[in-house]
Structure 1
Amino acid sequence: MKHLIITIYARIVEAYRKLTMISNKSIKLIYIPGVNKLRDFNSKARAYLEFVKAKNNVPAYRDFLESMNFVKPTFSGLTPNIHEIPVIDKENYIKMNSLDSMCSGGMIPEKNIIIDESSGSTGKATSWVRGKVERKRNAKMIEFGLKNLVGNEPLFIINAFALGPWATGVNVTMSCVSFSKLKSLGPDKDKIVNTLMDFGSGQKYVIMGYPPFLKYLVDNGEINWEDYDITFIFGGESMTEGLREYLLNKGIKKVFSSLGASDLELNMSAENDFTISLRKLLNSNEKLREKMLQHTGALPMIFQYNPADFLFESSAEGELLVTICRPGYVTPKVRYNLHDRGHTLDLKEVYKLLDECGIDRSEIVKPQTDLPLLLHYGRADMTVSFFGSNISPTDIQEVIYKQEALKEEVNSYFLEVDEDAEGNKKLIVSLEIQENKSKDHIAIKKIKETFFNTLGKINQDFREALKMIPSKEQMVIHLESFGEGVFSQNDIRIKAKYID
């Protein structure tokens, strides 16, 4: 009986959602404040319905559940216990099954289908299937989100993500063309600069791309950025507040980040003025960091998301599990482990922590909605271990932008731990100098001590490790000219490689 009630209820919720998708004004009804308990219940109800449909209609998922001897979750009252459903990920599900078997109905539909690829930053490139229904809804939500961030004026969007089969570039093009002028140029500095000069400073530009390329664009584009109204939208990896401030100081008007995953959806959550102000507050307030954050190291990205669309959970290891609660996806995903570290936080809990720390709420921007927060720390497997500390690429990026001698000079970086024949470990940070600049004028010995001391301030585990390292010679900074050494194989079209 509970099964029947919840599945019917979830279908009613979806019918209401379809009505709200008529226009940007009606979409605002989704974000009515004061109903987060209902949103949470709707999230679990919709997730349960997607589980039932996937079990009945997706051969690979049905086989997976059978292999796990799992039939269905229990209920607590009328709430389905989604946490009981077995977790899937790329290893135990995606790589073990054919694309056809992971589709509803057991085969890829013959039309209205886009097949794209992830960049393969964690290994071999993977193909993903996206249908018309999911693409249409996602495009509408991207339009609403962008207008909310940058205003209702006509937009000129420049897609600087990799083109061809790559997932993000393909989907940005499809999602944004219906509500903007769009030019998909890929990560091509000269073409982007020429476009800005051709169309002039009277446009409201939004340039979307990966952080390393957009920084490279600003550093090397021969144009006065302050003359243009340009917003950057980052995706694909984390960005430090140091990098954001650096770009704003160069003349970029606004800088926002969005969380998406090729495995799941292009845009699951996003930054806004409120989340950025909270992140900056965390950056300056150690007491608040200790109370709010669950992992050490660089600050997490902070997003707001709608739980009725995406159910985020955290595993026992602190990794994000995601269920797409929206219906109509060709390849449904229920409790999919991205192997990204993160957790959620209710807005009421944020205010409670502010009060406990004696922080006036006026120190952060007032949020437009009371949607919950998603704190995203990056990939769980993107760290190196050194004397018991786990160091991430974002830690290194944050150090760079705290060093006046480096932030104007460095294009990229690489992190590795080497071990000699006697078992002595060495932490090696390689820094790639910007194109057309020389590394010779950088006093590497002078910056080395402040570099690793700053890393200790950012990463408390490394701060403890510093007390145990026998020799400072076991911490090394290498300077490389642009495109040389470990950076010789970098491909600007896809996500940068930061660790070995």
Structure 2
Amino acid sequence: MKRLVVFTLLRVVDGLVKLAMPRVETHRLLLVPGIEPLRWRLGRWRAWRTMERAARSVPAYRAFLREHGQGRRLDTRNGVEAAFARLPEMDKESYVKRWSIAERCLGGRLPRRGVVVDESSGSSGVPTSWVRGPDERQATRQLLQLGFARTSAELPHPPFVLNAFSLGAWATGMNVTASLTESTMIKSIGPDPDKIIQTMREFGTGFTYVILSYPPFLKGLFEDDRLDWSQYTIVAAFGGEGISENMRGHILEYARAVLGSYGASDLEINLGIETEFTVALRRAIADDPDLAARLTRQQEYGVLPMIFQFNPFGYLIETNDAGELVVTIARAENISPRIRYNIHDRGHVTRMRDVLPVLREKGLSAVVAEKFLDLPLLFHYGRSDLSVDYNGAVVAPDALRDVLQGDPALLQAVENHRLIAFEDAAGDRQLHIALQLSAHAGDLDTGPWRDVVVSGLRRLNLDFSNAIRTAAPATLPTVAFYAHRTGPFARDGAKLKNEYVWQLGPGEVDQHDLDLGWTAPREA
């Protein structure tokens, strides 16, 4: 009876949502403050219905559940969340790569019309195709337009979006262009600084340029002195990876706002967004260790989390025992459902009702005043499968990023970084911290900066600090700075995304011309 009542109610709600979808102004009503508990509950019910529909109609998911001894219906007597926790997690290896695209679709087939195919490169660089039907593309479009509508309403000049994400079949650039074409003027350029500068010169200073790209590209773009950036009004929006607050501050020297989006090609490109509130909260956490301890797992993971807000009506986001995010897209219309999909990112969700009392207790009224959405918060600590192990400690490239971007000199001088784990000729596991200097780094005396980098990592990650103290002398981490596009960075730019972690096998070290001459001191 409960299932019948819930699913009937959801049909009514879905009908109202579809009526709202054509207009951003109407869709905005779905995010009004004060109905957060309703959104939270409806989202869980929608995920329940979507799971049971997939269990009936998707051949791959039906087989996947059968393998794990799970039936097609959820036992929700102890609540939907408890029932979902008993379902198996899926990911690329356990699900996507084992069944064909058609077998992962509703009815076991691809629709003949209305399907868009895009790609993700992943950390391996091997593309994976993802199929998206018209309903899910419409939902993504409305969320992007809604966020853009709020931003553009506060701009002093008409907005002109310059999409500098990688184009072609890649998910982000492709979907951003499709989503924003209806609501603004947009030019899809790709990560090409020459064309961006040429476009801005051509159209002049009468627009607010909303430049979308990855953080390293934005930094390099604004450091290009061919344009007097102070003459232009700019908003920077980023995705694809995190950013340090020091890097945000650096970009804010050129842009009036710097906000990020969280998504994954495996799921959707815009699961969550940074807001003025989340940025203010993140800065407060960075300044207050006690606040960080109460709201985050920063001490455990050794990195300041990115913080986003997301709509629980559309997504059920859990955290498993390994601290990884497990996401269910609640929307029933997706032609290729994702039920408890593990994207191997570390993170957790906290509802606004649990955060605001802590902020008020701390006297952070200025942070609270920035809140305009009561959507829950997603704390994101980076990839769980893109870290390296060192003598029992887990070292994440995000932590190295925060160290490098936390010092103005390193922020200016270092273009890219990489953690390289390998086995030496003696069979010992080694860690090499490789830092690529920018083409315009100038004469940086890199000697003292090696200590700065290691000390910064040890400060953020106590496990890493202890691992150094207990390491054998022959296995202490090594650090080296490399001239632009040399050593392990010689082939940078050949792939879509930066590579921040390498795991090298025996005998592969010499192929990359690693400089292993400096080792970290045992004591901090």
Q: Is the shorter-chain TM-score for this pair beyond 0.5, marking a shared fold?
A: yes
Alpha-carbon distance between aligned partners in 2 of 1:411 and 1:447, rounded to the nearest angstrom: 15
2:380 alignment partner, one of 372, 376, 380: 376
2:280 paired with 1:272 = no
Question: In structure 2, what residue type is equivalent to 1:262?
Answer: S
1:465 is aligned to 467
For residue 223 of structure 1, the aligned residue among 221, 227, 232 is 227
Match of 1:336 among 319, 331, 341: 341
Q: Secondary structure at the match of 1:467?
A: helix
Q: Tell me if the contact between 1:409 and 1:434 (Cα under 8 Å) persists in the aligned partners.
A: yes
1:237-386 counterparts in 2 under 5 A?
Answer: 237-249=241-253, 251-294=254-297, 295-355=300-360, 358-386=362-390
Check 1:435–1:492 CA distance in 2 against 1; reply closer, same or farther (3 A cut). farther
Q: CA 1:18 to 1:221, structure 2 compared with 1: closer, same or farther past 3 Å?
A: farther
Q: Tell me by how many angstroms 1:123 deviates.
A: 4.8
Aligned partner of residue 226 in structure 2, secondary structure: coil
Deviation at 1:10, TM superposition (A): 1.8
Q: Which residue of 2 aligns with 1:488?
A: 490
Q: Distance in 1 between matches of 2:477 and 2:267?
A: 38
Residues in 2 aligned to 1:418 and 1:405: alpha-carbon distance in whole angstroms: 29
**In 2, Cα distance between equivalents of 1:219 and 1:472:** 40
Q: d(CA) in 2 for partners of 1:182 and 1:189?
A: 16
Counterpart-to-counterpart distance in 2, 1:88 and 1:425? 31
Letter in 1 for 2:12: I
Matches within 5 A, 1:178-197: 178-197=182-201
Q: Deviations over 1:159-211 (max 9, x none)?
A: 11111111111111111111111111111110111111111111111111122
Give 1:73's aligned residue: 74
What TM-score results when the alignment is normalised by the length of structure 1? 0.94
The 8 Å contact of residues 158 and 184 in structure 1, kept in 2 or not, is answered as: yes
| Corresponding residue number in structure 2 for 1:200 | 204
- The alignment partner of 2:259 has SS state of strand
**1:223-260 superposed Cα distances (whole Å, 9 cap, x missing partner):** 122221111111111111121111112x1221111011
Corresponding letter in the other structure for 1:340:
D
In the alignment, which of 426, 443, 446 is matched to residue 445 of structure 2?
Answer: 443
Show CA shifts across 1:338-391 (max 9, x none): 1111100011211233355x3433345431011110001111111112232211
Residue equivalent to 1:175: 179
| Cα distance between partner residues in 1 of 2:89 and 2:355 | 29
Aligned-pair Cα RMSD in Å: 2.0
1:110 matched residue in structure 2: 112
Whether the 8 Å CA contact 2:412–2:441 is kept in 1: the answer is no
8 Å CA contact retained: 1:190, 1:221 = no
The runs of 5 or more residues in structure 1 that have no matched partner are: none
* Counterpart residue identity of residue 25, structure 1: E
Aligned length: 496
Q: Residues 91-148 of structure 1: CA distance to partner in whole angstroms, max 9, x if unpaired?
A: 1110001111111121111122111110232352100101112112211110111122
Code of the residue aligned with 1:301 in structure 2: it is M
The structure-2 alpha-carbon separation of the partners of 1:217 and 1:52, relative to structure 1 and needing over 3 Å to count, comes to same
TM-score, reference length from structure 2:
0.90
Runs of 5+ consecutive residues of structure 2 not aligned to the other structure:
503-524
Report the alpha carbon displacement of residue 452 of structure 1 after superposing the two structures with TM.
1.3
State the alpha-carbon separation in 1 of the partners of residues 428 and 363 from structure 2: 45
* CA distance in 1: counterparts of 2:122 and 2:399, whole angstroms: 23
